[in-house]
C-alpha cells in the first residue's frame, strides 16, 4: 500500500498549521504529532534513521534511534514506511507501507512484511500507528 494524500491531510489537521510534505522536515512532522494519545509512551508517528552498520534487507530493519520501547511494542498495530531512500531518492522502497511483525527493544530491530527493495543504512523511516494508514 502506498502513502496517500489523505494521510498528509490527516496530519495537517492534527498540526493545524499548513504542513507541507515538500518543505517540512520529518522532525517537524514527528514533533507535530508526538505524544498524541497519552504522552511519549503512546506515540502514533515516530521517525528514525537506519543504522550505518545495517545490512540491506527487505524484512529486517535496525535503527538505534528507535530503541527503548518494550519488546513487541510495535507488533501488529504499527506500520513502517521508508520516507527517504538515501541511495536512490524516489525509488523503491520509498512510500511503501509494511506491517511490523516483530520488534526487539534492545537493538531497535524491526521485522516487517517484505518491501519490494532493500531498506539500507542511512534510509529515513517512519513508524506509524495503523490509524494513520487506514484506508477509507
Domains of the chain: 5-133 (2.40.10.190)
Q: % helix / strand / coil in the chain, to the nearest 5? A: 20, 30, 50
Quote the pLDDT of residue 29. Answer: 53
* Residues in the chain where the model's pLDDT stays below 70: 1-42, 134-136
Query: What H or E segment, with its residue span, contains residue 135?
Result: none
pLDDT, tens digit (0-9, with 9 covering 90-100), for 78-87: 999 999 999 9
pLDDT, tens digit (0-9, with 9 covering 90-100), for 60-79: 999 999 999 999 999 989 99
Please report how many Cα atoms fall inside a 13 Å half-sphere around the Cα of residue 68, on the Cβ side.
8
| pTM of the predicted structure, to 2 decimals | 0.71
Amino acid at each position: 500500500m502506498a502513502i496517500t494524500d489523505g494521510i498528509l491531510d490527516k496530519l495537517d489537521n492534527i498540526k493545524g498549521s499548513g504542513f507541507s510534505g515538500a518543505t517540512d522536515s520529518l522532525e517537524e512532522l514527528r514533533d507535530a504529532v508526538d505524544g498524541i494519545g497519552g504522552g511519549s509512551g503512546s506515540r502514533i508517528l515516530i521517525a528514525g534513521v537506519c543504522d550505518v552498520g545495517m545490512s540491506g534487507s527487505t524484512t529486517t530493519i535496525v535503527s538505534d534511534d528507535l530503541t527503548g520501547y518494550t519488546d513487541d511494542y510495535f507488533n501488529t498495530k504499527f506500520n513502517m514506511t521508508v520516507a527517504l531512500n538515501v541511495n536512490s531518492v524516489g525509488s523503491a522502497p520509498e512510500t511503501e507501507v509494511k506491517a511490523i511483525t516483530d520488534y526487539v527493544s534492545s537493538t531497535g530491530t524491526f521485522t516487517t512484511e517484505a518491501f519490494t527493495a532493500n531498506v539500507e543504512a542511512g534510509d529515513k523511516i517512519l513508524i506509524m500507528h495503523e490509524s494513520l494508514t487506514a484506508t477509507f
